[in-house]
Amino acid sequence: MGSRVPVKGQVKFDEVVVTFKREDDGSYTKQTKRVTRDRQTSAVKYYKKNNPIIEEGPYVAVMSGEDYDEIMSFEGMNGETVNMYFKKIEVEAIEE
């Protein structure tokens, strides 16, 4: 019996990537986009057609004990898990 070749459509799947971009005024913008990952090569591809980057915000960074709306976890310089907390603010609060 021979080995089976995987069907091309089954090796790719969609992932949602969420990032926070720091703006010049010190606030943050949440960016959400859908990317496609190839299971065999682990390559990630972003298709721009009919797949806009969704931006929300503005957000401000807050301390861990304060009230927050979003949390982002990542690996720090020493390999430890670091959490950043963000609170969504109203646009009127920035203009005042």
Locate 56 and state its tokens: 């929300």
**Preceding omega of 58 cis (within 30 degrees of 0):** yes
Residue 80 pLDDT > 70:
yes
Single out the residue of 32, 35, 33 nearest to residue 14, CA to CA: 35
User: Are 61 and 49 within 8 A, CB to CB?
Assistant: no
Residue 78 pLDDT > 60:
yes
Angle at 26 between CA 81 and CA 85, to 5 degrees: 30
State the average pLDDT for the chain: 85
For tokens 């310089």, name the residue. 77
- Structure confidence at residue 25 (pLDDT): 92
Locate 86 and state its tokens: 């963000």
CB atoms within 10 A of CB 84: 16
> How do residues 35-66 score in pLDDT, each as one tens digit?
988 888 888 888 888 889 999 989 999 998 88
DSSP 8-state assignment for residue 9: G
Single out the residue of 84, 76, 94 nearest to residue 18, CA to CA: 84
